[in-house]
Amino acid sequence: MNKFTVRDIDFNGARALVRVDFNVPIKNGKITDDTRIRATLPTIKNLLESRARVILMSHLGKAKGSPDPQFSLKPAAERLGELLPGVTVKFAPDCIGDEVKKMVDSLNAGEILLLENLRFHKGEEGNDPEFAKKLAAWGDIYVNDAFGTAHRAHASTEGVTKFLSPAIAGFLMEKEIAIIGKALSNPERPFYALIGGAKVSSKIEVLENLLKIVDKLIIGGGMAFTFLKAQGVAVGKSLVEDDKLEVAKEILKKAKELKKEIVLPTDAVIAAEMKEESPEKIVDINSIPADMAGYDIGPKSIEHFMSVLKDAKTIIWNGPMGVFEVNKFAKGTFDVAKLLAGMKATTIVGGGDSVAAVEKAGVADKMTHVSTGGGASLEFMEGKILPGVAALTERSSCGSCSCSGSCH
């Protein structure tokens, strides 16, 4: 990655305006999963050790341009304070305005100020220049450590860089780009992709891009049924996107032209309904009754996938193999997670559901890398340029930044 990072800059006494991703689940005012907060700690600790004055900004939830107490970041500030004992973590009642200015001006080196939810202002998602300029006023140096929002050109991820330079990557951003980027551009082979989830429509570009790069492509989850039906397999009431059958046929055709193998399930766990109390059974993939649907891959599929993956040197996994939220349909996803956890290959897990699956299976720490970016990791795998990454300062453009040579 040819972008400046926090290790390149002297922050002593400087105001570091840091975009983090504290979009965490909160129930009854309590954070139920602080993974994203903990993921930013290496960058925050580095800034504190460098005697920076740290101003953090983030969004949370589905706030639509006006204050909403249920989406306040105050619980995140409290949790961050617990994770950084001995460090002063202050919380601002807004992200712009006179009160925020007073708090920023009074911030001492080694202290943290977390701004209130950016999306309480329409200017954030609208990438409004005036709003971005007001945010930029709080910092001397901009740091983006929020890979999960890097696919959005918002005021805090792209607009602010037009008013504040240098714009540099935090350690989490650097790690995401480096690991996923290497897998896509220069992987150790054999390189296989394991793609699941419900719908083909959400991953067409991922499949098309990965097909050009990987040695084999394994498809599971609900989306597999669209590919199976495209091959003439009767799949009963299983989830199928009929309007994407031609797309599936084109991807299968392209795979043949490229001499790339697409691996599909050979059996399935089926039931009349997607409910815990609905009786299930295992059938071969071409024996699904008309009144039943597949909700997980079966044991033969798991065994086959394992045999395909055994010689892999690099694996990207995105999307569960079944409806893992329902216990009786979770075995395929959890068995795949445990398989990857035990491999010597580079294993990269991307996408919200995949991340939730490896965490629920208790093997997240056994993976080489678990991405914090759902939509961002998907778009990265599609081969797209992420606005939040593109906006960061290139090393070759150092003469245009305001670091006074400290980043050399």
Q: What is the pLDDT of residue 397?
A: 57
Q: What is the pLDDT of residue 396?
A: 74
Class of domain 178-381: alpha beta
Active site residue 19: no
Mean pLDDT per 10-residue segment, the chain (408 residues): 90 97 92 92 97 98 94 97 97 98 98 98 98 98 96 97 97 94 94 95 94 96 97 97 97 97 98 97 98 98 96 96 96 96 95 85 94 87 92 74 44
User: Do 6-166+393-400 and 178-381 show the same overall fold?
Assistant: yes
Q: What CATH number labels 6-166+393-400?
A: 3.40.50.1260
Active site residue 79: no
Q: Catalytic one among 352, 373, 374, 388?
A: 352
Q: What is the pLDDT of residue 123?
A: 98
Active site residue 36: yes
Burial code of 24-33, b = ≥16 C-beta within 10 A, e = fewer? bebeeeebee
d(CA 392, CA 166): 8
Structure tokens at 89: 């973590």
Q: Catalytic one among 45, 101, 199, 254?
A: 199
What residue spans define the domains of the chain?
6-166+393-400, 178-381
Q: What is the pLDDT of residue 356?
A: 87
Q: Catalytic one among 3, 15, 19, 36?
A: 36
Active site residue 119: no
Structure tokens at 25: 């689940």
Structure tokens at 182: 């290497």
**Sign of dihedral through CA atoms 129, 131, 137, 140?**
negative
Q: Catalytic one among 61, 81, 375, 383?
A: 375
Q: What is the pLDDT of residue 401?
A: 47
**Sign of dihedral through CA atoms 92, 96, 101, 106?**
positive
Q: What is the pLDDT of residue 221?
A: 96
- 184, amino acid identity: L
Single pTM value for the model: 0.87
Q: What is the pLDDT of residue 315?
A: 97
Q: What is the pLDDT of residue 111?
A: 97
Burial code of 107-121, b = ≥16 C-beta within 10 A, e = fewer? bebbbbbbbbbbbbb
Structure tokens at 233: 């397999």
